[in-house]
C-alpha cells in the first residue's frame, strides 16, 4: 500500500496518480520551477535558485545555493537532503541532490538541470 498518493498531469496521458517517491520528486520539481514570490499569497514558496544560474562560481555562492536547496526541501516534511553537488554548465546549472525519504529507507541521487534557455528545472 503506498504511503503518499497524489495527482499529476505533467507528461501523463492516462494514469494521473503518482505515489511515494515519484510523487515526492514531482513535488520537488514543482517547487524548483516556481520562482519565490510568484504565487500570490505564498511569498515563501518557490526558489531563488534562478538568480544564481550565471553567477561566478565561488564558495559563497555554493553555500547560498545549498542553503536555498535546504530551504526549499525544508518545506516538505517527507524528505531530507544529505548532500548537494553544484556543477555550472554552458546554458544553466546542474545540481546533484542526495535525497532521502524520512519515513523509509528510500534514498536516491537526483540530477536536476536548471536550463536558462527554457527556464525549466528538469530531471536528467
How far, in Å, CA of 32 to CA of 25, rounded?
11
- pTM comes to 0.80
56 DSSP assignment:
P
User: What does the angle CA 7 – CA 112 – CA 101 come to, to the nearest 5 degrees?
Assistant: 55
CB 89 within 8 A of CB 95: no
User: Which residues, given as ranges, of the chain have pLDDT below 70?
Assistant: 1-20
Give pLDDT tens digits for 57-91: 899 999 999 999 999 998 888 889 999 999 988 88
Q: Name all domains of the chain by residue range, CATH numbers in brackets.
A: 5-123 (3.10.450.40)
Amino acid at each position: 500500500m503506498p504511503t503518499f498518493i497524489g495527482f499529476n498531469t505533467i507528461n501523463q496521458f492516462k494514469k494521473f496518480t503518482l505515489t511515494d517517491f515519484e510523487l515526492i520528486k514531482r513535488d520537488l520539481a514543482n517547487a524548483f520551477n516556481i520562482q519565490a514570490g510568484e504565487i500570490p499569497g505564498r511569498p515563501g514558496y518557490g526558489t531563488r535558485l534562478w538568480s544564481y544560474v550565471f553567477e561566478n562560481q565561488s564558495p559563497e555562492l555554493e553555500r547560498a545555493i545549498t542553503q536555498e536547496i535546504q530551504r526549499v526541501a525544508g518545506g516538505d516534511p517527507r524528505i531530507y537532503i544529505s548532500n548537494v553537488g553544484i556543477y555550472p554548465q554552458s546554458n544553466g546549472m546542474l545540481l546533484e541532490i542526495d535525497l532521502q525519504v524520512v519515513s523509509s529507507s528510500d534514498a536516491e541521487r537526483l540530477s536536476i538541470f536548471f536550463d536558462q534557455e527554457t527556464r525549466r528545472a528538469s530531471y536528467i
